[in-house]
Structure formats: C-alpha cells, structure tokens
Amino acid sequence: GENVEQHPSTLSVQEGDSAVIKCTYSDSASNYFPWYKQELGKRPQLIIDIRSNVGEKKDQRIAVTLNKTAKHFSLHITETQPEDSAVYFCAGYNNNDMRFGAGTRLTVKP
Amino acid sequence: GAGVSQSPRYKVAKRGQDVALRCDPISGHVSLFWYQQALGQGPEFLTYFQNEAQLDKSGLPSDRFFAERPEGSVSTLKIQRTQQEDSAVYLCASFQTGEYGYTFGSGTRLTVV
C-alpha cells in the first residue's frame, strides 16, 4: 500500500514569511494528493489538492507542486498569517486508498 | 445531510467496556472510511466500505475492532473490551464515486480509563 512521509513535523515562521511543507509517497500509481488543515479539536478540512496530471496548482496564498518522477509534493503558504497556525496533513490516494502523512504543526508568530 | 455526522462527540469508557461509534455520511455517498487519529499523529486508516460492502479492513488493529454498514448508509465502528491504547479520535470520512475529496466528520474522541 501507499506510504506517505511528511517533513518537517513542526515549523515556526514569522507572520508574513513563507512556509513550505514537503511530502514523499511510495506508490507510483497514486494519482491524487490533497492537503488538509486541522485546527485543534476540529476535523481535517481540505484546503487544496492536486491530481497527477498537473505539476502545480495555486489558490490565493496557497500553492501545491507535484514532482511525479521524484514522487514528492509540497505545500507552499505565502504571506503567512496567525490564523494559518494549525496542523497540516498531506495524503496520497490511489484506488480508494487514502493514506496520510504524520502531519506538520505550523505556528505563525505575530 | 449537509455533512458527515459522528456520534457521540466524546466517549469515556472503562477498560474492558464495549463501545459503539456511529457515522452518518453525506447522503448518497457511496464510499465511507474510518480512521484512527492518536494525539499528535496523522489519521491512520482502519477500514473502507463501498455501499454495504466492507472492501478493506486491513487497518483494524485487532479482532476487538468491528465495523459494519448494513444498509449502505450509516456505519458503526464497534470496539470490544476496550483498552487504554484504544484512546484516540475516531474519524469517519465519506466521498462520492468520481469525486476525490473526502469530507470528514468531527470525530469521536474515545478515552479509555
């Protein structure tokens, strides 16, 4: 099955700086890579996703890049704000099998 | 319904007690997943249903864990003879065939004392 690794486990940035979270996956057949944001005590919420036929996708301050050859994908948050503070999870999906990374706790300091 | 509903929101069980956790997916969603999320960890796959068929239960940690979805809508995750290591948040997610995005429920936080 799929194995997803995520780095770093914690990330602290100053408000206004950029944050980058990286994930690698093992199953070359995986074709969909979502990112979830989870605030304390709340459910994971989908914030952006990318499919395997696309190399990059952007939505306002959030972007995701995918390198299929290297089997890694990254989340980029620009102009970070304190409300971006949360745990972020990447995931890889293939054939009804969604596996998550261990998460990155992002702290944005005002 | 408008979202995935889970109940109870919190459950405290004495060690050895049986518990049942309920998930009510988005109406019409064919696929339903259960995940276990330990404190500070990512969601770990437990089991997957397509309609009433349990297609994958490889993530269930032991035979004390049992899940069902008899009519292809509401699902129940049952844990027998609970142990302290079962303490976690149990998340349910559903999606419709052809759509990739999951919608998660709010989870049930199980604490075994």
- Residue pLDDT tens, chain A, 110 long: 778 999 999 999 999 999 999 999 999 999 999 999 988 878 888 899 998 888 999 999 999 999 999 999 999 999 999 999 999 999 998 877 788 898 999 999 99
Number of A–B residue contacts, CB under 8 Å:
48
Residues composing chain B? 113
For position B23, what pLDDT does the model report?
98
CB–CB contact A51 B56 (8 Å): no
pLDDT > 60? residue B1: no
pLDDT in tens, B18-32: 999 999 999 988 889
List the one residue out of B29, B18, B28, B26 whose CA is nearest residue B86. B18
Question: Torsion over CA of A107, A34, B58 and B88, rounded to 10 degrees?
Answer: 30
A46, A51, A102 member nearest B102 (Cβ):
A46
Cβ–Cβ < 8 Å for A73, A65: yes
A43, A97, A99 member nearest B107 (Cβ):
A43
- Closest-CA residue of chain B to A86: B40
CB–CB contact A102 B101 (8 Å): no
Bridge partners, A4 (sequence order)? A25
Six token digits for residue A2? 């799929």
pLDDT in tens, B53-64: 998 898 999 999
* Chain B residues whose beta carbon lies within 8 Å of the beta carbon of residue A42: 106
Identify the contact set of chain B against chain A, taking CB-CB distances under 8 A: 31, 33, 35, 40-45, 48, 50, 55-56, 58, 91, 100-107
Radius of gyration of chain A (CA): 13
Greater confidence (A31 vs B78) lies with: B78
A6, A32, A36 member nearest B100 (Cβ):
A32
- Closest-CA residue of chain A to B90: A43
Average of per-residue pLDDT across B33-46? 89
The helix (H) or strand (E) run that includes residue B106 is none
CB–CB contact A43 B31 (8 Å): no
